[in-house]
Amino acid sequence: MTTKLFLLMTAMTLSGLAQAANPLLEKYNTPYETIPFDKIKNEHYLPALEVAMKEHNKEINAIVNNSKPATFENTVVALEKSGALLTKVTTPFFNLLGAETNDEMQQIAQKVSPMLSEHGNAITLNEKLFARVKAVYETKDKLKLTAEQQMLLQKSYDRFAENGANLSDKDKETYKQLSKDLSMLTLNFGQNGLKETNKWSLQITDKNLLSGLPQDVLDMLAINAKKAGKEGWVLDLKATTYGPVMKYADNRDLRRELYIAYSTRNMLGGEFDNVENVRKIANLRLQMAKLLGHKSYADYSLVHRMAENKSNVYDLLNKLLMAYKPAAEKEYAEVLEFANKKGAYFKVQSWDWSYYSEKLKAEKFDLNDEMLKPYFELESVKKGIFGLATKLYGIKFVKNTTIPVYHAEVDAYDVIDEKGKLISVLYTDFHPRDGKRSGAWMSEFKGQWLEGKKDSRPHITIVMNFTRPTETKPALLTFDEVTTFLHEFGHALHGMLTKCTYESLSGTSVYRDFVELPSQIMENWGPEKAFLDGFAKHYQTGEKIPAELIQKIKDAENFNIANFCLRQLSFGYLDMAWHTIEIPYTGDVIHKEKEAMSSTQVLPVINENSMSPTFNHIFSGGYAAGYYSYKWAEVLDADAYSVFVKNGIFDKKTAASFRENILVKGGTEHPMVLYKRFRGQEPTIDALLIRNGIKK
């Protein structure tokens, strides 16, 4: 019932395995009471979880059995503070399940997931507990609560009402089973994706087949082979291999083989197949939504989103489609014409798009990743992005080697303000591993809250899958990777700078279609000369990135932007298609997907592939009926950044306003209230269209 990580002094007298020394149940004797990763072992999780659930149940019973009338403090605040030990146990487990997992952890997750689902249901379906929360809620107009207290009360009430508290006893049992089944299915979905990605590899012994690949990519593939005890080069489906092969490999057959392998994961049968899981998850979500009185899962999910309903979601997607598709068709025609001129007498397919687009970009703008990478050495980029936060918000980052980390590649930092006061702890984890899922994300190991005069500061982590260093070169990033770093760092700032009373409202605990604003706005600084001049230097010569190269980045900023937008829209339409069904879907998964994405297609459709079985965002992550959020927030970030452009991209007054009205506030008020307080008006789509060159 809380996301807090209270660090407790525990003197447990419980019997059995729980009595044995278990670091998860003890006070952390580490800097800032950070998690002692060096002491935690897999066998600690399950017994600690059992103890923590018992402790949580005691806390809930104390609230329920309180003989005094329900008040905001003795019920709502007490509920907010309950479950601290449980959060302390589950937070490191689930973070590492994504960033540094192994077979044993995945087996533990299979046991833990239904236990937690059952535990959570026992609380949200507790009639006496809901009665106390409801009693406070019904007197809310007389309580003279602050805006944050009002929000906590509303969220507390909704947490029960929207999770089955008003159901009949029979329907409550149905709800319990549905949520338990869903927790297992979504867990399996994500695990299948990681396992299927890890099991595929392709050994190449003829270097000619790898023609076109940059030397550092070849070095990386050679390291893969060496680790596998094989000759030559080994390709895999990680982003650091897949992206460069699609972009640079001259061998069309190789590109096609990798593309088909990547885009048919989890759909060709076998133990990791997710096709049936797609149907099951979508149908179970529909059943749950109907049980709670909604026509579809989207109707249920969008109640607490800025978009509010599916009509507004489709309105945004359709407007963007109309604005961008004509430009996308022109972009495709240009790439096709270019490819044909280069002797490619065929239609440009999905496995050709990046390859010929990259060559066209190089010809039009005299720019490619290999020209830029020497100026984006990872350590320099890190200093540049940290330095941007210093310029905007006055915070500094000091590496702290005394803080335990969960892998040798992870670094930990003290984040301090101008007076040297701790703002946050930040962990950074940059490179792909077999135990790490694909993509990039921000999370927290500990949230933030206020209690009396104590401001308990957060512990934040950013996890990515960037190009590794080789035996001859440091980690050199593509410009896309620099942009990804900025994006996740924006989420981190949202988590680090927050200052709220209640942890369940702090940091990134905001509406899903608002949470991407702080991340996406940071991407705007990426191509700015004033930003790049501060850190982008050649890793060998120390030469500052030339002004003409920065100008080329700016000139190429909107290259094929319309096709990129349509790709995002296609995911949004697919997400909504699965979550607006009003009767259980029993048809063909691939057919439904093709139908949902058809309006966005510009490139030839590949009939044998499918996105749905690997769509972790919606079937394993938290973006069900919410993938549109990226485009929704893009409208917000373009509009918000226009204020920085007007006042100066490092303007401290503008940054202070963004910090105080957006980053600090978390979910304490409605996001549109916060946004208007910063911007002075509601956003419009115009700033995004102008930034992308769609509208003059």
SS3 460: strand
Contact, 663 vs 494, CB < 8 A? Answer: yes
Q: Which residues pair with 441 in a beta bridge?
A: 463
Q: What angle do CA 512, 286, 593 make, to 5 degrees?
A: 80
Residues 6+ apart with CB under 8 A from 654: 643, 644, 647, 648
Q: Which residues pair with 443 in a beta bridge?
A: 461
Q: What angle do CA 392, 393, 395 make, to 5 degrees?
A: 120
Q: How far is 321 from 473, CA to CA, in rounded Å?
A: 42
CA 264, distance to chain mean position in Å, is 23
Instruction: Residue 380: count other Cβ atoms within 10 Å of its Cβ.
Output: 19
Contacts 24+ apart (CB under 8 A), 547-555: 549/367, 549/371, 549/372, 549/375, 552/365, 552/366, 552/367, 553/367, 553/372, 553/479, 553/527, 554/527, 554/529, 555/365, 555/367
Q: Which residues pair with 424 in a beta bridge?
A: 415
Q: How far is 620 from 113, CA to CA, in rounded Å?
A: 13
Instruction: Residue 451: count other Cβ atoms within 10 Å of its Cβ.
Output: 12
Q: How far is 600 from 77, CA to CA, in rounded Å?
A: 47
Of 100, 331, 358, 488, which one is the catalytic site residue?
488
DSSP states of 385-454: HHHHHHHHH--EEEE-TTS--SSTT-EEEEEE-TTS-EEEEEEEE-S--TTS-SS-EEEEEE--EEETTE
Looking from the CA of 471 toward its CB, the CA atoms found within 13 Å total 8
Q: How far is 37 from 461, CA to CA, in rounded Å?
A: 14
Contact, 561 vs 326, CB < 8 A? Answer: no
Q: Would you call 488 a catalytic residue per the annotation? A: yes
SS3 476: strand
> What is the four-CA torsion angle of 8, 10, 14, 20, rounded to 10 degrees?
110
Contacts 24+ apart (CB under 8 A), 209-214: 209/251, 209/254, 210/249, 210/251, 210/254, 211/249, 211/250, 211/251, 212/248, 212/249, 212/250, 212/251, 213/244, 213/245, 213/248, 213/249, 214/244, 214/248, 214/369, 214/370
Contact, 428 vs 411, CB < 8 A? Answer: yes
Of 405, 691, 366, 288, the C-alpha closest to 527 is: 691
Instruction: Residue 253: count other Cβ atoms within 10 Å of its Cβ.
Output: 10
Q: Sheet containing 422-429: which strands, arranged edge to edge?
A: 396-399, 411-416, 422-429, 459-463, 441-446
DSSP states of 269-321: SSTT--HHHHHHHHHHHHHHHHHTT-SSHHHHHGGGSSS-SHHHHHHHHHHHH
- Mind telling me the catalytic residues? 488
